[in-house]
Structure 1
Amino acid sequence: MNPQVWAWPHKTGLHLCSLLVTKPEESTYSVLSPSVWVSTDHDDIEKVAKAWGAQVHRRSPEVSKDSSSSLDTIQEFVRLNPEVDVICHIQATSPCLHPFHLKEALEMITKQGFTSVFSVVREHHFRWQEVKKGGSVATQPLNLDPSNRPRRQDWDGELCENGSFYIYTRAMIERGLQGGKWAYYEMLPEYSVDIDVDIDWPVAEQRVLRFGYFGLDKPEVVRLLLCKVSGCLTDGRVLISVSGEEMVSVNTRDTMGIRMLQREGVEVQILYIQNKHTAERGSGG
């Protein structure tokens, strides 16, 4: 089979395009697919995508309207690329995808015979019927019995489509995004990030730092910490003893952090100023 990875990043801005594509040999998507495509009608996004090794599907005006759907654009791509067997549609607004997510979901199509697979996340929200403003009708529970309200740990929750990715066969694309023999792929909540409005960015950025995928390289390991006492370990206070001797105050959280680093094998060197012309160095301990 010849799967293609598909995404368009214009919704969330140009810099997310580079996050999406990364280096071809290290990207989340090229691990599984012979080609990575970015769909756009924007010149700058096309330049960034190509610079990072992705191929670009330049959308036609007919499928670049505000009213155009994802299906319209993907169907155009499929018509122009008859060699494609499987489409993996990645949402640029969900930046915490890892290769294992897509690998496992793709195998549901290639090995288990499903025609479409989509991502979901388990949520534990009690839903209530909406009552229009000014209405006098009482609201009603939609997914719980208030007289027997379950604890979170006793309730499996509900599977909700999170829009992170959709994978489907060519035949399924020609008929619609979902259908046939379909299945869901459940993602853990920490990987389920959706950027929809501006206030989602700070949360998404922190989640990416902790749970994001940064390529195949091993992470950098800290081997040495150089730390100056004045201005780094001190908290700005000067204490005077009964004999008139001046002393500085050091936050115990800093010293605790230094001990934690040393337990992990990190060398710690503490720098302190003895006078205006002399600096001495000591080992943290």
Structure 2
Amino acid sequence: NSIWVSTDHDEIETVAKQFGAKVHRRSPEVSKDSTTSLEAIQEFLHKHPEADIIGNIQATSPCLHPDDLKEVAKMIQNKGYDSVFSVVRRHLFRWSEIKEGNEVTTLQGGLDPKRRPRRQDWDGELYENGSFYFATKDLIKKGYLQGEKVMYYEMRAEHSVDIDVDIDWPIAEQRVLRYGYFGNTEKKQIKKVKLLVCIIDGCLTDGRICLSEDQKEIICYDVRDAIGISLLKKRDIQVLLISERNCSKTISATKLDCEVEVSVTNKLQVVEDCLKKMNLSWKEVAYIGNEESDVDCLKTAGISCVPADACAAAKTSASYICKSNGGHGAIREFAEHLLLLMDKVNSEEKRK
């Protein structure tokens, strides 16, 4: 009935509370590198005996889907299981290493090499994927996360991602983009995006001001970002560029074919005026900003984004944080993210 983050770290506690989670402050005794998950959960139960069932969700499994957690909760609540854990089916032929003195031999595990099947004709084997472990309070008090009336829950392969070593990071990032859960509300909003609002200084540019010999400002932007804007416009998404400074409209307007507003003191009002003209709502807006003055717009837009080098207040208000800095491909990255999500939502609706 409640979501807790167990931590001994101040920054993690702050972020957890910002997203609505409760925080269990771990003691030094269960915050060591050698501490097991079971020990941390047992300490939690000691301080919160009102919890009857614990779902231990591993932070290293970023593609976990809430539907899976709901089904597992039902298995324990309605079917009487004492523990349920996540597995994934693998079609890999397993071999064991046998050491006898200096000699090393191998032994096939579970299959006869003389009757080796095609992998696609074989049911495969179940492996723990580490996504979650659900157990009753009574079982955990006995010192187990698995046991007594125990059952597995088989997750889909595309949702079964575990970050263990460095190479798992890029794989996980691509899986999250393609298969990650973004919420039903956000899916509906993504499908309706009709306008991208982009801040010029710090998003389209890197924030630096270049002056010519005659003291005229020169705006420099990344060709990748120009392509990103072009990709959005091809999907009938209009683009509005905004600057708080009194910079020139000419170069951005003529080269990127976008509406431009400069000398803006109230970004929220400017966007609302634009929405009235276009007969759109905030849910149909994708917004990319980088400063405290963007926070209201970032929170109000249907989907929002900040470059990697945005200020802290903007980062905590956005739904997506780019890996790229402002002026160095952040808009292209956000455009690709938007289009990928839109394609994903459309394909899911077709399947239905």
2:23 matched to which residue of 1? 56
Q: Conserved in 1, the CA contact under 8 Å of 2:95 and 2:107?
A: yes
In structure 2, distance between residues paired with 1:37 and 1:112: 25
* Cα separation, partners in 2 of 1:137 and 1:97, compared to 1, 3 Å: closer
Q: Conserved in 1, the CA contact under 8 Å of 2:195 and 2:237?
A: yes
Q: Which structure 1 segments of 5+ residues have no match?
A: 1-33, 226-257, 270-277
2:131 matched to which residue of 1? 164
In structure 2, distance between residues paired with 1:54 and 1:138: 51
2:169 aligned with 1:201: yes
State, as a whole percentage, how many aligned pairs show the same letter.
63
In structure 2, distance between residues paired with 1:163 and 1:112: 22
What amino acid maps onto 2:37 in structure 1? S
Q: Which structure 2 segments of 5+ residues have no match?
A: 197-230, 239-253, 258-352
1:11 matched to which residue of 2? none
1:115 matched to which residue of 2? 82
In structure 2, distance between residues paired with 1:60 and 1:143: 44
2:105 matched to which residue of 1? 138
Q: What is the aligned residue count? A: 206
1:122 shift after superposition: 0.3
1:149 matched to which residue of 2? 116
1:96 matched to which residue of 2? 63
State the Cα deviation string for residues 176-201 of structure 1 (Å, max 9, x = none): 11111110000011000000112110
What amino acid maps onto 1:128 in structure 2? W
Equivalent of residue 13 in structure 2, options 46, 49, 68: 46
2:146 aligned with 1:183: no
In structure 2, distance between residues paired with 1:87 and 1:215: 23
Task: Please show how residues 237-256 of structure 1 align to structure 2 within 5 Å.
Answer: none
1:157 shift after superposition: 0.2
1:53 shift after superposition: 1.1
2:171 aligned with 1:217: no
1:136 shift after superposition: 3.4
State the Cα deviation string for residues 45-86 of structure 1 (Å, max 9, x = none): 111111111111111111112221111110110010111111
In structure 1, distance between residues paired with 2:74 and 2:134: 10
1:66 matched to which residue of 2? 33
2:44 matched to which residue of 1? 77
* Cα separation, partners in 2 of 1:170 and 1:125, compared to 1, 3 Å: same
1:147 shift after superposition: 1.1
Runs of 4+ in 1 over 6 A off after TM superposition: none
Q: Which has the higher contact order (CA 8 A, sep 6+)?
A: 1
CA RMSD of aligned residues (A): 2.9
- So what's the TM-score if we normalise by structure 2? 0.53
Bigger helix share: 2
1:267 shift after superposition: 4.3
Equivalent of residue 96 in structure 2, options 129, 137, 140: 129
1:143 shift after superposition: 2.5
1:218 shift after superposition: 3.8
* Cα separation, partners in 2 of 1:268 and 1:110, compared to 1, 3 Å: closer
**Higher deviation after alignment, 134-143 or 205-214:** 134-143
In structure 2, distance between residues paired with 1:66 and 1:157: 34
2:109 aligns to what SS in structure 1? coil
What amino acid maps onto 1:74 in structure 2? I
* Cα separation, partners in 2 of 1:137 and 1:71, compared to 1, 3 Å: closer
In structure 2, distance between residues paired with 1:58 and 1:170: 19
Task: Please show how residues 224-243 of structure 1 align to structure 2 within 5 Å.
Answer: none
What amino acid maps onto 1:109 in structure 2? I
Bigger strand share: 1
- So what's the TM-score if we normalise by structure 1? 0.65
